[in-house]
Amino acid sequence: MSVRTTGLVTLIHREILRYVRRPWNTFLPPTITNALYLIVFGVILGGRIQVTGTSYIHFILPGLIVLGAVSDAFQNSSFSIFHGRWNEYIHEVQTAPLSYTEMVVSYVLSSALRGTLIAVLIGAIGVLFTNLLPSMAPIGFAHPVLVVAFVVVITLLFASFGVIGGLWAEDFDHLTVMNQFIIRPLVFFGAVFYPLTDLSPFWQNASLLNPMVYMVEGLRFAMLGSSTLDPGLSLGVLSVVTAVLVAVDVQLFKRGFGLTD
Amino acid sequence: MSESPTHDILFQLPLLPIAVTLAISASNLKKSYGEVQALDGISLSVEQGEFFGLLGPNGAGKTTFINTLVGLVKKSSGDASVFGYDIETEYREARDRIGLAPQEYNVDRFFPIREVLIHKAGYHGITEAEAASRAETALKTVGIYDKRNTRFDWLSGGMKRRFMLARALVTDPELLILDEPTAGVDVELRHDLWEIITELNDSGTTILLTTHYIEEAERLCDRVAIMDQGRKLTVASPESLMERGSDTIRLTLADAPSEPPAIDDDRIESLWIEGAQLVVTARTGGEIAPALIRALDHSGHTVLDMNIERTSLEEVFVSLTNGEEPGRTGASQQEVAQ
């Protein structure tokens, strides 16, 4: 392993160890939350909610996976960087001979991995629920490659976005603000719990300005085999946005935004 | 650690001396925070293998200078390099050569200290097995190996200070930067740390030390730079700095006169009577003392006792940072006495 690779791998390893060693903080909360979502919306209320062509639990699962995956990817990179800045131990990374690109890639990859693990966890809960209920068809994955592609891209995207959040925040409250007042509303109005076609034409078009819609609809197509938006276009746009955000992250690190005096 | 580039060493001509790259080279380095000029055109050279001290009051710009070298502060203008590598365009090479023990604690709180060291070494491209071995060595060197599985927050104050040094050492740096390493530590720990860094310097590590303790600089440093308000006031060895000040010779006389006797010697800067003592200031107290005793004997005064007080680095430091000409300390005392 070359000198440069060792530095990159070490920082990724450190970042992964940070959340893997604290499962009660990182993996347990989304497990409980999503189990509750599926019990209430999928099992208890699901029978009363009509969605064309599929049961409600099947319909909401892709949205819940997106919600959990992007929230955790964002939270991980933003918290890790902000906490490092707050306690100044990010200096250990800053003063090391890592390139700015390596620093960004480490934070983004490790955070995207956490988002992906959450996606797998929520998917597994969905599979468990549908297999336990005899009246329900098991969860299927119509386009498994697309499932993987969407999960990878959306977690990378929000991990990259989280880097900006971690550099921008000056207080813990700022992280809460970003999560509660920006990400969560976008997710809830991102066709997680309702099909776009239930909205009036105006709100359907307005929803298309919400990037979360493309993620939810994309993953829905990959899992169920049908959606209201072209998944190829969604994946392409999301990939471009991710690349742009990573480039912005690198520039911010290079300029020392939030990092240097 | 990557290898030095070929331009590190300039072979000018076969028979001429070889110009070795400086460990630190700063030229007209400036850093401003709005109206505040933290670094005001610092130019400084530190040679390889040197033990170099930065002295100055709070706000002199010592930490800003250090943080500029390691990438925690963006310079406003000027140039700086570490072992020939520019701190901005060749930041990776420059940072790879530096081990930093900052004054403020900035340690990863999520992991036991042994793992913190392994991570730090890993960022410098050291493999995990080698990093683990170095971490153990570094912890043993500073005497906190028993605490290897403890998190930083649970260490005592002295152990924390020791750990800061261990973290700086784990990458085996060519340049060790110590920012107030003994601030707030007890005497025993201070001597331990002095011993460790002296041994490192003896084995070839260049050391840049900032300190408030004049004694520390006097005892450890080959050269010191005195800084104030972002500027470098002077650079010299502690000995030559002390020579800039005046020695004070106190002669206890059997029958002290009310007025100082007339003594014809150009080396005398000032003299006055203080109770039963004749107090004389001169650049080199040891040289002038015999002549003084003879002159007093000739004029009928009996010298009962004599004491020569060497100028301390602290006096020179205070003079320089107060904007006075070094060496006028004695004269100031005279003015006060009169």
The 3 state secondary structure assigned to A125-161 is: HHHHHHHHCCCCCCCCCCCHHHHHHHHHHHHHHHHHH
> Is the pLDDT reported for residue A236 higher than 70?
yes
ipTM, interface predicted TM-score of the complex: 0.90
Q: Which domain holds residue A137?
A: 3-255
Helix (H, G, I), strand (E, B) or coil at B83: coil
In a domain, A261, yes or no: no
Least confident of A210-214, B249-253, B283-287: B283-287
Q: Do B2 and A11 touch (CB under 8 A)?
A: no
How would residue A62 be classed by pLDDT, with cut points 50, 70 and 90? very high
Smallest CA–CA distance, residue A237 to chain B, in Å, is 34
Contacts of A2 in chain B (CB under 8 A): 125
Smallest CA–CA distance, residue A103 to chain B, in Å, is 10
Smallest CA–CA distance, residue B118 to chain A, in Å, is 9
The packing angle between helices A211-224 and A144-168, to 10°, is 160
Average pLDDT on B14-31 reads 82
For residues B298 and A18, give the distance between their C-alpha atoms in angstroms, rounded to a whole number. 83
In a domain, A182, yes or no: yes
Q: Do B119 and A92 touch (CB under 8 A)?
A: yes
Pick from A10, A155, A4, A211: which is nearest to A163 by CA?
A155
Average pLDDT on A212-226 reads 91
CA distances from A89 to B98, B301, B316 (A): 17, 68, 37
A&B contacts, CB < 8 Å: 90
pLDDT at B239: 83
For residues B316 and B10, give the distance between their C-alpha atoms in angstroms, rounded to a whole number. 37
Contacts of A89 in chain B (CB under 8 A): 106-109
pLDDT at B275: 87
B102 interface with A at CB cutoff 8 Å: yes
Pick from A60, A63, A236, A54: which is nearest to A146 by CA?
A236
B74 interface with A at CB cutoff 8 Å: yes
> Is the pLDDT reported for residue A218 higher than 50?
yes
In a domain, A260, yes or no: no
Residue B62 dihedral angles phi and psi, to the nearest 5°: -65, -50
Average pLDDT on B124-139 reads 97
pLDDT at A45: 81
A238 neighbors A157 (Cβ within 8 angstroms): yes
DSSP symbol at A97: S
How would residue A114 be classed by pLDDT, with cut points 50, 70 and 90? very high
Encoded tokens for B233: 């006031």
Smallest CA–CA distance, residue A31 to chain B, in Å, is 23
Instruction: Using CA coordinates, name the residue in chain B closest to A255.
Output: B74
> Under the phi-then-psi rule, with left for phi > 0, alpha for psi from -120 to 50, and beta for the rest, what region is B277?
beta
In a domain, A48, yes or no: yes
> Is the pLDDT reported for residue B328 higher than 60?
no
Per-residue pLDDT of B183-226, as tens digits, reads 878 888 899 999 999 999 999 999 999 987 777 888 899 999 99
B residues 164-183 closer than 8 Å to A (CB): 167
Least confident of A118-132, B114-128, B316-330: B316-330
Q: How far is CA B45 from the centre of its chain?
A: 14
Encoded tokens for B14: 């076969």
Which of B110, B116, B125 shows the shortest C-beta gap to A7? Answer: B125
pLDDT at B241: 80
In a domain, A46, yes or no: yes
pLDDT at B14: 52
In a domain, A224, yes or no: yes
pLDDT at B163: 97
> Is the pLDDT reported for residue A120 higher than 90?
yes
pLDDT at A12: 98
Helix (H, G, I), strand (E, B) or coil at B202: helix
Contacts of A10 in chain B (CB under 8 A): 119, 122-123, 128
Name the strands in the sheet holding B24-33, side by side, starting at the edge strand that comes first in the sequence.
B36-46, B24-33, B77-82, B85-86
pLDDT at B10: 46
Pairing of strands B175-179, B98-101: parallel
In a domain, A34, yes or no: yes
Residue A135 dihedral angles phi and psi, to the nearest 5°: -80, -5
Helix (H) or strand (E) holding B195: helix B187-202
DSSP symbol at B151: B
- Number of domains making up chain A: 1
Which of B92, B106, B119 shows the shortest C-beta gap to A97? Answer: B92
- Dihedral, CA of residue B108, residue B113, residue B115 and residue B121, to nearest 10: 80
B200 neighbors B207 (Cβ within 8 angstroms): yes
For residues A169 and B311, give the distance between their C-alpha atoms in angstroms, rounded to a whole number. 52
> Is the pLDDT reported for residue B99 higher than 90?
yes
pLDDT at B19: 65
pLDDT at A23: 94
Smallest CA–CA distance, residue A91 to chain B, in Å, is 7
B234 neighbors B324 (Cβ within 8 angstroms): no
Q: Do A93 and B123 touch (CB under 8 A)?
A: yes
In a domain, A68, yes or no: yes
